[in-house]
Chains A and B, each alone.
Chain A
Amino acid sequence: MHSDVILVLVIGTALAFDFTNGFHDTANVVATSISTRAVSPRIAIAMASLLNFVGAFVSLKVAATVASGIIDPKLVEHAPAIVFGGLIGAISWNVITWYFGLPSSSSHALIGGVVGAALAANGSRAAMSDGLLGKVVVPALVAPLLAFVVAAIAILICYSIVGRLRPGSVSSGFRAGQLVSGGMLALAHGTNDAQKTMGVMVLALVAHGDISSSKIHVPHWVVITAASAIALGTYAGGWRIIKTMGSRIIKMDSAQGFAAQGSGAAVILAASHVGFPLSTTHVISGGVMGAGAAKRVSAVRWGVAGNIVVAWLLTLPAAGAIGAAIYGVTRTFGANSEAGPIVVAVVILAGIAAVFARRVRRGSPLTAPGV
């Protein structure tokens, strides 16, 4: 039996990460529906929050991939500091990228952090490189491009079908359709993102000895708490979006919004079906850019696409390095000592508060990275 204090700390940190994931991603999920005036901000946010919650119950394959396909769960047994280090690595990288306005992926940060801490603890045998490459790195590269291409094809076909109609009737028709496409996107977002936290919580339970590494499963309470955390995060995050989103959205018509949301939802749901943990932020951005570029290439903010590529390249190694460093620090207090994680948690909380205060002084503290 291992420290309950560390388990509570790790689960609490995982749920906090899940909450911030929802908070951070609300903009991506609801922006298209609100910008085309398909729904009011209040309804879009409430719907996204509810469907994020429902989406978390749709599938558990991504959770299984995170819990058993990226690092060897046997090596995590009796070592909760690995999971803790990984989570702190992810949160720290998220705060750093938020401070500098880089559109990083919380999902890549989470996976990078956990892999980094596991590598620090057990060397190269800890990482399941096949799983990491085949289920994370390659899909992470393919998915945004796929969403871009699918959205571009979809909008071009749409324009060829509805081309001769009056713009007004096309707009009102696709605005109604966006109620469904926006809902599907929120559902897909909840499905893929909440499951990543579930996977990490399962790893924490393996480390604590509650779940056998040879018989990985996701307990119901893990599903319910992860679903609730991301849904609450989405709801809380929405209210700042109402204030800030006006200048941040690519101008698009409702048919483009429908294509962007539909392609994003289709890619995320298809990937969830086979257990690929994607960056939903990058997929949604790919869909928006594809729908925009197909109509007018100059409509897309290509600088944002460049920032996404930079963030994509940096996130896995950077979060991994921080996760490894945090694991190393906690180990200096002793193998299963509670003191290490507690001290690190206090220091990190103080650091986040300091960064937040500094950002508040500089202005726009709650502005999302530009995706």
Chain B
Amino acid sequence: MSEVPAAASKIVEWHQLLQVVYGSLAAAVGVMIAFSVTVVGGTRFAEARRQSRSGQAGVWAVVTGAGLAVCAGAIALGIVAVTAKT
């Protein structure tokens, strides 16, 4: 390895920078997917209930609940990770 890339890799804290890239990408995209599923589930649940399809409504209720739980879990995990003393 030449001297310049070696110096750059020493100055730039790649490990921490990549942690920020991966962490923010996983958190934001993960929560977005989970919340989008929640919105779809909630909408379909309301439609199924209006049309008295109780079986389908139950399935969509579970999907909505699961999506919300993933969102809440991801946010809680994020706050715990930020407050943790490493």
**Residue contact B28 to A263, C-beta cutoff 8 Å:** yes
**Residue contact B43 to A276, C-beta cutoff 8 Å:** no
Distance, CA A354 to CA B20, complexed state (A) = 42
Say yes or no for B6: interface residue by CB 8 A criterion. Answer: no
Instruction: Please report the total number of B residues contacting A with Cβ < 8 Å.
Output: 35
The B-contacting residues of A in range 234-258, CB under 8 angstroms, are 255, 258
B39 is contacted by which of A143, A157, A162, A272 (Cβ under 8 Å)? A162
For residue B69, which residues in chain A have a CB less than 8 angstroms away from its CB?
Answer: none
Give A269's nearest chain B residue, CB to CB.
Answer: B82
Distance, CA A267 to CA B78, complexed state (A) = 11
Say yes or no for B16: interface residue by CB 8 A criterion. Answer: yes
Distance, CA A278 to CA B24, complexed state (A) = 14
Say yes or no for B59: interface residue by CB 8 A criterion. Answer: no
Say yes or no for A83: interface residue by CB 8 A criterion. Answer: no
**Residue contact A58 to B83, C-beta cutoff 8 Å:** yes
The A-contacting residues of B in range 20-63, CB under 8 angstroms, are 20-21, 23-25, 27-29, 31-33, 35-40, 42-43, 46
**Residue contact A157 to B28, C-beta cutoff 8 Å:** no
Instruction: Please report the total number of A residues contacting B with Cβ < 8 Å.
Output: 49
Main secondary structure of the interface of B (DSSP, over half): helix
Distance, CA A265 to CA B79, complexed state (A) = 11
**Residue contact A274 to B20, C-beta cutoff 8 Å:** yes
Contacts A142-B17, A267-B20 given; indicate if A150 touches B25 (C-beta within 8 A). Answer: yes
For residue B21, which residues in chain A have a CB less than 8 angstroms away from its CB?
Answer: 142, 146
Closest CB in chain A relative to B42 CB, distance in Å: 6
**Residue contact A263 to B24, C-beta cutoff 8 Å:** yes
Distance, CA A58 to CA B12, complexed state (A) = 25
Contacts A162-B36, A165-B40, A169-B43 given; indicate if A59 touches B24 (C-beta within 8 A). Answer: no
Say yes or no for B3: interface residue by CB 8 A criterion. Answer: no
**Residue contact A258 to B35, C-beta cutoff 8 Å:** yes
B24 is contacted by which of A150, A169, A180 (Cβ under 8 Å)? A150
Say yes or no for A184: interface residue by CB 8 A criterion. Answer: yes
Give A184's nearest chain B residue, CB to CB.
Answer: B75
15 A-B pairs whose Cβ atoms sit less than 8 Å apart in the complex: A58-B79, A59-B82, A130-B11, A133-B12, A134-B12, A134-B13, A146-B24, A157-B36, A161-B33, A169-B42, A170-B39, A173-B35, A259-B32, A269-B24, A269-B78
Q: Chain B residues in contact with chain A, CB under 8 A? A: 10-13, 16-17, 19-21, 23-25, 27-29, 31-33, 35-40, 42-43, 46, 71, 75, 78-79, 81-83, 86
List of 6 A-B pairs having minimum Cβ-Cβ separation, nearest first: A173-B39, A161-B36, A266-B24, A154-B32, A270-B23, A266-B28
